[in-house]
Every structure is written in C-alpha cells, then in structure tokens.
Structure 1
Amino acid sequence: MMTKVTLRNLMAHKVRLLLTGVAVLLGVAFVAGTLMFTDTMSKQFDDLFSSVGKNVAVDVRAKKVTGGDDDGQNAQPIPASLVDKLKAVDGVKTAEGQVSGYAAVVGRDGKLIGGSGPPQLGVNWTGDDGATRLSSGRAPNGPGEVLLDEETAKKAHYRVGDSVKIIVAGPPQTMRITGLVHTGNMMGATITSFDTATAQRLLLKPGQFSEIQLGSDGVSEQVLRDRVATQLPSGLEAITGTKMRAENKSDVEAFLGFFRTFFLAFALIAVFVGAFIIFNTFSMLVAQRTRELALLRAIGAARRQVTRAVIGEAIAVGIVGSTLGIAVGAGLAVALQRFVGGGGLVFTARTAIVSYLVGTIVTVVSAYFPARRAAKIPPVAAMRDDVALPQRSLRIRLVLGAVLTALGAVLIGLGLGGSASSGTGNAVLVGAGAFAVFIGVTMLAPLISVPVIKVLGWPFAKVLRVPGRLAQQNALRNPRRTASTAAALMIGLALITTVNVLGASIRASVNSQIDDQFGADYLISSSGLGGIDPATVTAITKVPGVKTAARQYDGNAVIAGKKVGYIAADMPTLAKAARLKITSGSDDPGRDGILLDAPTAKARGVAVGSVLPVTFADGKTLPLKVKGVYDESGMVGPRIVSEEAHLAHTARPVVSFVAVDTGGSTAPKAGLDKAVAANPALKVQDQADLKDEVGKQVDGLISFITILLVLSVIIAAVGVINTIALSVVERTREIGLLRAIGMGRRQLRRMIRAESIVIAVFGALLGMGIGIGFGTSLQQALADDGLNILSIPYGSLVTYLIVAAVIGVLAALWPAWRAGRMDVLRAISTE
C-alpha cells in the first residue's frame, strides 16, 4: 500500500520534485563530469606513456640535485662522447642521445602559440618512436629546418613549406617547416623538432645531450642499469625505462589529481547547497500533507511506513536527478575534451557509483528529518483542520548554532595559524571550520532573520503599502523556512565574497609593494621560459637615454640541506632598481657571497660573515659568505647569490628580466620597444603596466573561481523558486480570500515578488557578512607572507546584492504568475 502512496505522491507533485531534482542534477553533473574528464585524460596519457620510450631499457640523466628545473637550464648536460662509451657496455643494443629545452612557436599574428600556459618544448628528431610519428613532409636536416606538431600547426595555420619564427633561450630563429608530427593529445603543449646538431645549438650546447636512452640486447633492465651505472661520471645516474615511464606518468597524474580535487571541491559545494534545497522542499511538502499523513496513521500505517513513504520519494528524486546529472556531466566532459583535444570519453563504473551515491545519499539524508517529523504526527490529528508538524524550540538552535559557529571560528584560526603538522592538515582544519561556521550560522539564521527581514521589508511596506506589508509578514511567518532558503544562497555568496576580498587584498598588497620596491623606470621580461638573450640585453644597454640596465637570473640550489630558489643579479645596480634596504653589510655579494633578507637570516641563525654551504644544480658545493642582510622584498625574494657563482654552475644561464633606469625620462621607451621587437615573448613595462598586469592576472583567477561558484548560486535560485512556489500552494485559501476582498492580480504578484526579493537579499547579506569575515581572517593570516593590506571590494559587493535582488525577482516570476491565475472560488474552497 505504501508503495502506491509513494508513487501517487510523486505524480501529484511532479513540478516541485522536478525542481528539487534540478539541485541534485547540477551537483551530480559537476561530480560526474570531473570524474569522466580526468579518467579520460588519464587513459590517454597512460596510452601515450606506454608508447613513449617503450623500447628504452635504461635512461641516463643528470641527478636531480636541487629539485628545481633540473631538466632545463640548470641541469648538468651530458657530453655526446658518452654515447659511444655506453654503446660498448655489454647488453646495450642501441644508444640514442636526447635533447630537450624551451622552444616556442610564433603564430601568424605575431603572438606565441600557447602564450605562457601549456609547455612549449623543443627536441631533437630521432625518428618515429611509437608515441610520435612523422605524418607529412620529411625530417629536418640543417640549421634552418624544423618539424611542428599537427595541433600547433593547425592553431597557427601553418603548412609544410611555410616559414615560422621559433623563440628559444637565445636569438629568435626563422626556420622552414619540413614536416608535421602526430603526437597524440598533449593538452595544448607545443612540440618543435630539430635535427640533433641544431637542437644542441639552440636548446643546450653543441656536443651535449639532456639524456641518453639505451635499448637492451636481451638483458633485464635492472642488470643493464647496474652495468651502465659503473661507466657514468659523477653527477649522472641511470634509471630503468620502467621507472622513467612511471615518473613521466606520475607527473601527469599529480596534475590530474590536483585538477580532479579542485573541481570536485566546487562540485561538493554545489551538492552541499542542494542539500538545503532538498531539505526545505521536503519539509514544505510534508507540512502541506500533514492531514493526509495523519490519516494514514489513523487507518493503520506505522511510523516506519510513513517515514519509508517519504524516503521512497527522496530515493526516486535522487535516482532520477543523478541519472540526468550523469548525462549532463558527460556533456560537460565532452566540452572539456574538445577544449583540450583528445579522443573518446571514458565512463567507468566508479563514476556511476560515486554519482548515484552522492545524488541519492544527499537527497535521502536531506529528506530524512522531515520524514521523521511526519511520522510523529498522532493519528487523532487527522480529525483536526489546524493540524501542523511539531516544531522544536528555537532555543536549542540558538545554543547549537552558537557552539558550532564558535567551534568553526576556532578551527579556522588553528588552521590559518599552522597548528597542524602539515599543509594538508591545516587545510582540513580550515575546511572543517568553514563547514561548522556555515552549519552554525544556518542554525542561527531563523533568529537573525526576524530583525533583518523587518528592516529589509520596511521599504516595500512603505512603497507598496498592503502588498509590501503582507510580503514582509509572509517572510516572517516561518523563520525556519525563510532561513533555510536564504542559507542556500548564503553559502555561495559567502565563498564568492571571500574570494573577492582575497583578490582585492592581493591587488592592493602587490600594488603597494611595487610602489615601495620598484625603483626602476622600466622592467623588461619574457612571457616564456626563454628569458632575454645576451644580444638583446646588450641592445637594451645601448638604447639612448638608458643609464643602467640590471640583469637578473633565477636559479635553484640546496642551502644548508634545504632545496630553495634564489636570484643572481647584476648587483648593486639591481639593489638600487629594487630599492633594496640593506640593514647590515653590503649590497654586493662579490664573487663568493650571498645576500639574505632579514627573516631568512634570522630563521637560519646567521649574520654577516657567516658561511653557508650552497649546492648548485650541477652538484657542486661552494661555501658562500653572507655579505649582507636586507629588509624583506617581494621584488627580489629572500636570497641573492653571487652572479659569478651562478654563471659558473649553470649549464645554460638565462636572464629572467632587466630593470632599466632612465633617470625618470620616458623618451627611451620607443628605443626599448625597438630593442625587443624581434622577440614577441619580451615586453617592456613601467610601474603602471606592472600593476595592470598583476590586476588582470588576479582578476582572471577570481573570475574563474567565481564562475565555478555561480553554480551554487543557481542551485540556490532554484531553491527560492521552490520555496515561493510551495508557499503559494500552501497559502492557496489565503490568496483566494485576499482576491475575494479586493486584492488585484498585480498587487498579488507584487506581494510575491517582494517576499522573494526580501528572502534573496537576506541570504546575500548573510553570505557577504560571512565572506568578509573569512576573507579578513585569511588576509590577516597571510600578512607576514606579503598580503599585508586588507581591501574590501565594496563595488563588487553592491553588484552581488543587486544580483541577489534580481534572483529574487526572477525566482518569483512563475509562482507569481500561477498565483495570479488562481480561480478565486476554488482557492477559497481549498482545505
């Protein structure tokens, strides 16, 4: 019998439950789409790496000493003479030297393909290897010839025979395309291939290789590795081909793992918001069917049966919503696949199981408490007209809400203060604290709603008169329902506000640092990894009006046992350009010195005159004397190493940027632009340009995160529609009486719209208040790391408040239209 009751109730409330299902659908779609996309990419890379170097038994490479860019400019190169030596090792069948480095393709529009995003890799062409194959044209043979991968050629509209400009860590090269290479899905990476001699000259050094790959003549990988290892000079190591392929795969898996976690976090936020909508909807549906459920109890239905009937409806909604969510998620994954390129979609049993579990469990848990309340209705209540669900005292909510909010604040404080032993542990503390705050504020919201809604409803009462006063009273009639509806909107806007406060604070802090620390007139830098070639540096120094041009290099080293980054620069010229404030010692590290900022020197317990052992990327260790200590600087970082030491221990040093002093004159700007014109990766920026670039980068990131969080706001909007629509049904007789005593349809619709706006704006204010608190806490916690200025983006917050009001208007359109079309006599006669 109860199964029939469940099915009948589902059919009787199709539209309401459909709107509830939308909340499930959107959350599950994000989960399913993320899992399908990452599974697809993982399989494609599995296939790629299983073919890359599949015949390689042993890989010889430089030891990874510093943990930085050991495979690039800082890595120790391998002399080509070692190839012949390794060929003679017993068990070696083939020995092939490999060259890799930075090489970017310039499109026909004069811009780099891929910009500063996906990797831009140059290699030496050694023939088809299973993962890459020549699809058209011929192999390069000479200094002016190059191969492009098919995707890059397609993006740039290049064909075989065309001329193309290639940007490397040196002067730009104009070359002819002799062929195209099929590489499979490389997620936007560009691959350029040269003959070996050209690759060595452009990417590394003549007569040098990045690594040597060996094939086996029937000997196991482990045995061959051990034999090869005995022939290697210091600084080099031999690993098995299996380990090489596993490391390549793990690097991609780490990225995909981050990608998966990042997007699943937003999916869970959407699911969390959806839970409020589901809870609210089932609470209202159960409240409207109180007499019906009491009658079921009166004719013999047990409490468990009533609970099961409501839970059955929730399961049906969860299954249908999850099924549709998986379908929408597949579309989302396909769209992402088309954006990055690739083959067919991978749909695993795990994706289906996780999606159904998420959708169904969240729906059932959200509906459980309304179901429990419904089962507690006494059978005798069916005889009464004013039967209502039992309500608990708000005092309990007040105590629990206050405790949870306080506990959440403490956990957030502990996490931001670094109380846990690891970064992951601190992140868990912050996440748990935020969750507790959201639940706590949600429990307190019914108490908060009464005074706030009185204030928000006051303008409507004054302007709209009777409809406005009724709208205010309707929002106050059930504080729990109003608070639950507003809480869904609160969560999304709280997170959006937090992100915007952080973004505004980052911009303000960076702009302050530029004002305080940027003493040069212009900064010349590269958008790629090629840096600024020596010829261009020389041209910059010769531009009329340029007084000084301070060059800077970036490097990695092991200092006192810790892997760190450093800069090496033309000091003390850079000290002036960066307005470096020396607190002790000199601003010149000389040939064998190092400069440290004050916090780093204090943390290491060193001072001017102390000696630090510094191990460079080539494996050599030098004792560098601390020559000076300076105030913390975001422009140069915590360590400045002797330029001579860096150049002596770096295989292919690259100038990262040049700080130019023109004495305040703007006249040399045209000359500087001309000096770098041959390389589109280089840009000339003054202080205003730097601020603008940082602002665009921050705005881009904030906009991206905000767009992802908008999904939770959309779900919250669905919740407002649900609440208003169900409220209209609940007040059918009341609406009929209002119409009977003279309220017009237009007035009725205004009343419903005003009520919707008040609820939406209340949720927005609650969310923005929490968001400002979260954002301020994060800024204060990061103040010592450079985020020293708190900035509240009031303009954005006002915009979000207006958007919330618009959401309220849109959410009320359908319920208001339906209320206006009610038959007055039928509405009055409704029980």
Structure 2
Amino acid sequence: MFRTALRNVLAHKARLLMTVLAVMLGVAFVSGTLVFTNTLSNALQNSSAKGFDHVDVAVRAQSRASEGDTVGKAPELTQALVDRSAGVPGAASAIGVVGGFTAIADKDGRLIGGGFQSQGGNYWGTDDARYPLVGGRAPSGRGEVLIDSETARRTGYKVGDTVRVSVDGPVLTPTVAGVFTTDDGNVAAGGSLVLFDTATAQQLFGKTGAYDEIDVEAAPGTSQDALKSALDRALPKDTVETTTARRLAADQAEVIASSMSGLKHGLLVFAGIALFVGTFIIANTFTMLVAQRTRELALLRAVGASRRQVTRSVLVEAFVVGAVAGAAGLVAGIGIGVLLKVLMDTLGANIPAGPLVVTPGTVAAALVVGIGVTVLAAWLPGRRAAKIPPVAAMSSVHAAATTRSLVLRNSVGALFSAAGVAVVLAATGMSGDSGQLPMGVGAVLLIIGVFVLTPLLSRPLVAAAAPVLRAFGVSGLLARQNSVRNPRRTAATASALMIGLTLITGMTVMAGSLQTSIDRMASEAIRADYVVSMANGNTLSPDVGRTLSTTEGVTATSPMRNAPSRIDGRTEFLTGVDGAAFGTLTDLPVDDGSFTIGGTRVVVDADTAEEHGWRSGSAFTVHYADGAAQRLTVAGVYRSNEMIHGILLDTATLAPHREQEAGDMLVMVKTASGASDSTKDGLAKALGTNPAIRIQDRNDVSDDIAQMFTLMLNMLYGLLAMAVIVAVLGVVNTLAMSVFERSQEIGMLRAIGLDRRGIKRMVRLESLVISLFGGVLGIGLGVFFGWAAGELLGARMPTYELVVPWGRMAAFLMLAGVVGVLAALWPARRAARLNMLQAIKAE
C-alpha cells in the first residue's frame, strides 16, 4: 500500500501541484515570519548589548511606589554618589549619565532620526571612552555640541558648522565642536545622538546637579558581581539600587523579545488564515483525486485491502505532499524573511546589521505545519473513500450524497450559524474588553456555520445569476448547471475566497467607521485652530505656551499638563488647563452640571465619575506629588474623547504642586484669522521653525489619531492578500479537476457544435459565478462583523458611527470577479484544447 501511495503521487504530479503551492504559501508565511522576527530580535539584542561595553554595574535611583495617599518621588543621583561609587574597592571609574529626547534638524530644517530615535546625552569630562572622538574636541557650554559620525555623514555637518537643536521646545543653535563614533542601537537603526557637556545636559534635561544613572566600570580582575557587592555596601540602600551589566543586557534582550512577540503573533495569525483557507483547497483536491480513483481503490478492496489500509494510503500521499510543500515553504520563507528586512530598510525603518537567523524551531515548525495541515485535510476524503463498498465503487454508484447526509449537514450548519449570531449579538451588549472573547468565539462559530451551509446557499444564489448568464446563450446555461452540479465542491471553492473577503470587508468597515468618529471628535469637540506638541510625544517646555500666548494674531491658548496624584487610595492623573480659556478652545458635551474650571472647581469625564461615584457638586480630597492635600469640587461631568479625558483643573491650582516647572503635553491655540497656511507659518516662525514641534490643525489631529488604524488596515490588506492568492489557487485547482472529470462531456459538446470559444466562455463563466458567490458571502459576513465590532467599540467612543463604504464593497465584489476570470484562464484553455474524439472515448 505504501508503494501504491507513492506511485499515485508520482502519477498525478500536475493535479497535486496546486495543492503543493497552497500549502507552500502558508508554510512560507509561517517560516518567513519566524525568520524575520528572530533575525530582527537578534540584531536588536546584539546592538543593545554593545551599549554595555563600558559599564559593569549601573547605579539607579530606587523607584518609590505610591504609598497610602501619597505619590512616591524618586531620590536624586548626585555628584557625591558618583564620587563615592568611583572610590569603592574594585571600581576603575564611575561616570554620571543624563539624557533624553533631543531633536536635531538637517540642513533643510527637517527632523533627523524620526522622533523617538533622536536622543541626547552628556559627554563626561574630556575623554569619554563611550564616545571616541574622530574629529574636533569636547563641547563646552550651551553653545557647543558633539554629533555622531552617522548623523554627520547623512547630513554633511562637520566641525565648526552651526546646527539647530531642541530638547523640549525652544531652539538652540550651537556649533559642532566635534564628531564621535558610537555603538548606540538608536544610531545604528537610523537615529541621531547629540552630546552636551555635563552641566548643560543636566540643565536642559531638567536634572540640574543630578543624573539619571551612574555607570561604574570594574578594575582589571574584578568581576561584575564583586563590584556590585562592593557598591551595595558603600551606597545607601534606601535611595539607590545596583544592577550588573550582564543583568541589564539580559533584561534588555527580554524586553526586545517581548516587543517582537506582538509582531510575531500578529503575522502568524495571518499565516494561520492562509493555511486555514488552504485547508479547504487541500480537502477539495483530495476529494476529487479520491473520486477519480474510486475504481482503483475498490479494486484494492476487492483483492484484500482493508478500509484502514485504503485510508492510510491516502494519508501517505498527503504526508509526501505535505513534506515537499513544507520543505519548499521553508526555503521560500527564508526568502520572505530577507525581503521583509530589505522592505523595512527601504521604508526608512533602519535595522541594525546582523546575520540571518534560521533556528531549528523554524525548520521544525515549517515541516510540522506543512505535513500536519495536509494530512489533516486529507483524512476525511480518505475515510470517506474507504467506506464505499467495492461493488458500488466499481459500478460508479458513489457520487451522489444521500438525503440523510445533506439534512444532517444543513442542520449542523444552521445550528452553528444560529449559535454564532446569538453569541455575537450578546457580545455587542457587553462593555470594555469583556466582549472581545465572546465576539471572537461567535465569529468563528458563524463562519463555520456558513461554510457548512454553503452547499445549500449555493443553489438560490447561483440561480439569481441565471438572467445574466442567459445572455451568454448555451455557454451561460451550461456554466450555471455546472456551478450547482456539485454543491459541495462549489461550496469548498467559494469558501476559501469567502474567508479572505470577510476579514478584509470587516476591517474596512471598522476602519471607515473609526475614521468618521475621529473626524467628528476633532470637528465637534475641538474649537481650537491648532494643537501644538512635540514630534516624539514628549512634553513641551512651558516657554512654548508663553511664546504662543504673546504671538500676534493668537486670541486664546491653553496648555494641557499632566500630574500624578492619589485619590481614594489609588493613583489618578490630573490634567491642568487654563480654566478661563479652555471652554473657548473645546466643546465637550456635559452630562451633569456645568463646564466650569477654576480655583477648587474641576470637571471630570463620565467614566472617572462613575468609577468614584461622583456627580455635580461632589467633593473629594486629592493628594499631590509634593504630599500636599486639597479639597476639590466637581463642577460638571463631561464626555471624554481620545484626546481629552480624566480630571481637568486650573493650571494655577496645579502649578504649586508640580516639580519645578514641568512641561506641557500640548498647547491648544485659537487665532483671529482661523486655520490657514499663512497662520501656521507664522506660528512656526514664532517658535523658531523648530523641527521637534508639530503644529496641527483639526484635520491634522484627526489624521494623526487615525494614522495607526490606517497603517494597520494597509498591513492587513497586504497580509490578507496571501489568503486571496491561496483562494485563487483553489479556484484554479477546482476548475482544472472539473475539466478533467468532464472531458467526455466537453468532447460531446464540441462534437455537437460548441466551438472552442464557447467552451472557454463556459469555464470562465462557471469560475466567475463561483467567485462572485464567495464574494457575496464574504462581503455580507464582513459587514455584519464590522457592525458588531463597531457596536462593541462604540460604547467607549461617543462619536462612533457605523459607515459602510459601499464604493469599496463594490470594488471587493469586482475583485472577486477578477479572481474568477484570472483563475479560469488556464483551465479554460485546457478545456478548449481537448481532442474531441479522445475525450469522447475517455472513461
């Protein structure tokens, strides 16, 4: 039986090719994802590990957790602690490190490094081993900086040039005193690093006289653990904590691996979708192959083969096909991993250099997935073939499904569909994250139910196309009859396309609805003409708000400043605003009381009010970070949005309790002339044409918030294209098998006068009908899931509104039609080229 199975595989090379391709694409996606994420993770870990070359033990301020009704405040690392660290036994040197976001503009005024990768720090003394100078000298004062050699190479800056730099808003124009080299991972990934002298860095980063970290290097012969023990004995345990560089590197590697896991899991989900779609194709292919070999299998049964042996022979075929597809998918996946890395570099997401990582786990996953999916999909057709009595099989009495089996299938499908709809509808009434799992379970149940019911659904939906097909004469009539001749095959073929379009349609409906709700939020809740913020999301210097308030043409401004506090024993963030101006800059719906901010009167969003049981007139005690307590009164309860939420109070009330003069999250601005290009240019010039500062009007704010959803949607389109490609292979496979099975029939049609063009048209129309059938089901399910997910999300977004982009739905249906036409090209050509006499003689 084993030799028979192998001979059958070799005898049906062309028929199994599409199955191999379907499995190979899914496996390639899985292995490509693993190769890419492992390579990226390894490169980032190696790059980050280089940052610990000049440190053996790091000393950091001990974090202070919130206790009772007070908010903890971390102690400062002073110069005295640096000196004490340098003097412990086994320490060769100790340096204080301070740093943060630092924007540097290129010669055209554009930000270098993409925001979060634009960093700054301090150059320690005159000979900092971390940053070897390749030109110039150490910086001195606010008027001089060092830049990394990669930034100098990309921008053309050299020693003596003037550059534009910003730390928290105001623009500095220092001179490049020198250029240095570094192994910093941010720089390797396309970022920038600017160094100031220590005193200047401390002042700019709000750490006057203090440091973020103390890096201690061990003397020759001293281990990291021994140095850590010496530091623990010498330094105050209640204010600092020590960590070895080895531990820091391991923690960094763990963080990188954790961040990669999200990307990896997301990509693997879509690989799973492609494999899920491929499973239908494999099952369909083996069903047809087994049907074609029914007499052969019956003969094996007649000469003594058992049912188990027949099933096993089919599974051996599947194992061989899966092994070949898995190996080919692994090779293709390695290529996909390389291409993804090149694509990210092309898009500007520079990745540190590193070797391609193909782990034994990746190889095992490719083979297990390839073989497992193929064998699983082939098991049911093999089992079904083994159950056919030999005499009935030799008489070809085996094709038609019994009424009992169809009733059972339709009953199971109806049960799954009803359960799926019920669970999805129940999930829409839930709040928060509690409805996500039921929504997912309901979606899976409904998709399975519709898949099981597709043979029943195919007849009325295909019949609806009869008036159109009638216009194509005999070819159209035959195409309609062929489409419903084998409902199970039609259903399996259409289901592959249905799943891909369900996901694409559902995500499109959700993205369109979210975009509309965000646009409404920006247009209805924000009256300000502009929102000013830092490019990387960090806080702005208070000087920015003061500059804007005195700029010509500006009629009102208000900062938004965050500060931690303790209320009712738990941490709550307060947002300070200009109470007098904020009402003219926003238009937030008020559910209770009035929108009045000033003195001890505050407003809170509806969710926070519900959590604490507050309403208009309620009073509560807030404990600020400096330990002071104050009694505040709720003047009103408003509905929040993505930008404005939480407890809002006047900046004059909050200011005395904040550290120094901390920065603003953003500044809202209203101008006399309204939003225009000239007004925006005027504000930019008033702020020194700073590359680190974003000035956005309401449309920009909406686009910025929606950018994440748009990026996600575009990624989904690209990833789900894999499922559509697999579905195309399924249609091609089905049509090719159908043409093979109907060779005699096609020969008879040719003999009685149907020309080659009519044969091609018949096959193309059949493919078109099947593809459009899958498209209609997929779009219908996608709209339903998009609506349901929107209902769940709308509970947290007051401005949410369902929007069905009918234009895109029509485009998706046309895509399904194009898939059908393209998939029919080769089978139609093959059918038209059949020799009619040989076809008529075929059994």
Tell me if TM exceeds 0.5. Answer: yes
Aligned to 1:632: 639
Structure-2 separation of matches of 1:250 and 1:228: 30
Aligned to 2:822: 810
**Identity fraction in percent:** 37
Aligned to 2:236: 230
Quote the offset at 1:396 in angstroms. Answer: 1.2
One-letter amino acid of the structure 1 residue matched with residue 278 of structure 2: G
- Contact preservation (8 Å) 1:58, 1:224: no
Quickly say closer, same or farther: Cα 1:723–1:582, change in 2 above 3 A.
Answer: closer
Deviation by residue 1:596-642 (Cα, 9 ceiling, x = unmatched): 113311211234452244454xx756445244333112142122245
Quote the offset at 1:731 in angstroms. Answer: 0.8
1:249 correspondence with 2:253: yes
Quickly say closer, same or farther: Cα 1:270–1:228, change in 2 above 3 A.
Answer: farther
1:387-786 map, 5 Å? 387-388=398-399, 393-412=405-424, 427-461=436-470, 463-557=471-565, 559-581=567-589, 587=595, 590=598, 594-607=602-615, 608-614=617-623, 616=625, 620=627, 622-623=629-630, 625-634=632-641, 635-644=643-652, 645=654, 648-650=657-659, 653-663=662-672, 665=674, 668-676=679-687, 678-694=689-705, 697-786=708-797
- Contact preservation (8 Å) 2:101, 2:120: yes
Structure-2 separation of matches of 1:75 and 1:586: 38
- Contact preservation (8 Å) 2:88, 2:231: no
Structure-2 separation of matches of 1:591 and 1:23: 68
Quickly say closer, same or farther: Cα 1:153–1:701, change in 2 above 3 A.
Answer: farther
Aligned to 2:32: 33
Deviation by residue 1:164-205 (Cα, 9 ceiling, x = unmatched): 433321323344252332335754544333332332233333
- Contact preservation (8 Å) 2:555, 2:672: yes
Quote the offset at 1:727 in angstroms. Answer: 0.8
Quote the offset at 1:470 in angstroms. Answer: 0.8
Quote the offset at 1:647 in angstroms. Answer: 6.8
Aligned to 2:348: none
Quickly say closer, same or farther: Cα 1:537–1:623, change in 2 above 3 A.
Answer: closer
Quickly say closer, same or farther: Cα 1:576–1:477, change in 2 above 3 A.
Answer: same
One-letter amino acid of the structure 2 residue matched with residue 713 of structure 1: V
Quote the offset at 1:123 in angstroms. Answer: 2.2
Quickly say closer, same or farther: Cα 1:321–1:365, change in 2 above 3 A.
Answer: same
Tell me which moved more, 722-731 or 172-181.
172-181
Quote the offset at 1:562 in angstroms. Answer: 4.2
Runs of 4+ in 1 over 6 A off after TM superposition: 127-132
What SS does structure 2 have at the residue aligned with 1:407? helix
- Contact preservation (8 Å) 1:555, 1:646: no
- Contact preservation (8 Å) 1:58, 1:225: no
Aligned to 1:204: 206
One-letter amino acid of the structure 2 residue matched with residue 227 of structure 1: R
- Contact preservation (8 Å) 1:475, 1:755: yes
Quote the offset at 1:108 in angstroms. Answer: 4.0
Quote the offset at 1:27 in angstroms. Answer: 1.1
1:93-104 map, 5 Å? 94-104=93-103
- Contact preservation (8 Å) 1:100, 1:122: yes
Quote the offset at 1:692 in angstroms. Answer: 4.5
1:207-222 map, 5 Å? 207-215=209-217, 218=222, 220=226
Quickly say closer, same or farther: Cα 1:640–1:280, change in 2 above 3 A.
Answer: same
Structure-1 separation of matches of 2:290 and 2:671: 76
Aligned to 1:343: 354
Structure-1 separation of matches of 2:429 and 2:227: 48
- Contact preservation (8 Å) 1:536, 1:676: yes
1:271 correspondence with 2:282: no
Question: TM-score w.r.t. structure 1 length?
Answer: 0.90
- Contact preservation (8 Å) 1:453, 1:758: yes
Tell me which moved more, 52-61 or 483-492.
52-61
Structure-2 separation of matches of 1:747 and 1:167: 72
Structure-2 separation of matches of 1:638 and 1:294: 74
Quickly say closer, same or farther: Cα 1:335–1:555, change in 2 above 3 A.
Answer: farther
Structure-2 separation of matches of 1:159 and 1:329: 43
Structure-1 separation of matches of 2:681 and 2:419: 59
Tell me which moved more, 213-222 or 128-137.
128-137
What SS does structure 2 have at the residue aligned with 1:372? helix
Structure-1 separation of matches of 2:655 and 2:290: 73
One-letter amino acid of the structure 2 residue matched with residue 761 of structure 1: L
Quickly say closer, same or farther: Cα 1:753–1:77, change in 2 above 3 A.
Answer: farther
- Contact preservation (8 Å) 1:737, 1:824: yes
Structure-1 separation of matches of 2:15 and 2:478: 24
Structure-1 separation of matches of 2:241 and 2:618: 36
Structure-1 separation of matches of 2:99 and 2:635: 38
Aligned to 1:181: 182
- Contact preservation (8 Å) 1:59, 1:212: yes
What SS does structure 2 have at the residue aligned with 1:204? coil
Quote the offset at 1:573 in angstroms. Answer: 1.1
Tell me which moved more, 589-598 or 543-552.
589-598
Quote the offset at 1:716 in angstroms. Answer: 0.8
What SS does structure 2 have at the residue aligned with 1:115? coil
Paired residue total: 815
- Contact preservation (8 Å) 2:594, 2:637: no
Quote the offset at 1:411 in angstroms. Answer: 4.5
Quickly say closer, same or farther: Cα 1:579–1:279, change in 2 above 3 A.
Answer: same
Structure-2 separation of matches of 1:128 and 1:256: 39
Aligned to 2:70: none
What SS does structure 1 have at the residue aligned with 2:553? coil
Quickly say closer, same or farther: Cα 1:93–1:136, change in 2 above 3 A.
Answer: closer
Quote the offset at 1:755 in angstroms. Answer: 0.8
- Contact preservation (8 Å) 2:739, 2:831: yes
What SS does structure 1 have at the residue aligned with 2:102? strand
One-letter amino acid of the structure 1 residue matched with residue 167 of structure 2: V
Tell me which moved more, 551-560 or 815-824.
551-560
What SS does structure 2 have at the residue aligned with 1:447? helix
Structure-1 separation of matches of 2:591 and 2:802: 27
Quickly say closer, same or farther: Cα 1:134–1:803, change in 2 above 3 A.
Answer: farther
Deviation by residue 1:671-696 (Cα, 9 ceiling, x = unmatched): 22432451123343333443454555
Question: What RMSD, in angstroms, separates the aligned Cα atoms of the two structures?
Answer: 3.2
Deviation by residue 1:14-34 (Cα, 9 ceiling, x = unmatched): 122121111111111111111
Structure-2 separation of matches of 1:157 and 1:396: 74
One-letter amino acid of the structure 2 residue matched with residue 796 of structure 1: R
Quote the offset at 1:734 in angstroms. Answer: 0.7
Structure-2 separation of matches of 1:221 and 1:562: 38
What SS does structure 2 have at the residue aligned with 1:408? helix
Quote the offset at 1:401 in angstroms. Answer: 1.4
- Contact preservation (8 Å) 1:373, 1:389: no
Structure 1 segments unaligned to the other structure (5+ residues) = 68-73
Structure-2 separation of matches of 1:50 and 1:368: 49
Structure-1 separation of matches of 2:86 and 2:255: 30
What SS does structure 1 have at the residue aligned with 2:318? helix
Aligned to 1:137: 135
Structure 2 segments unaligned to the other structure (5+ residues) = 68-72, 346-350
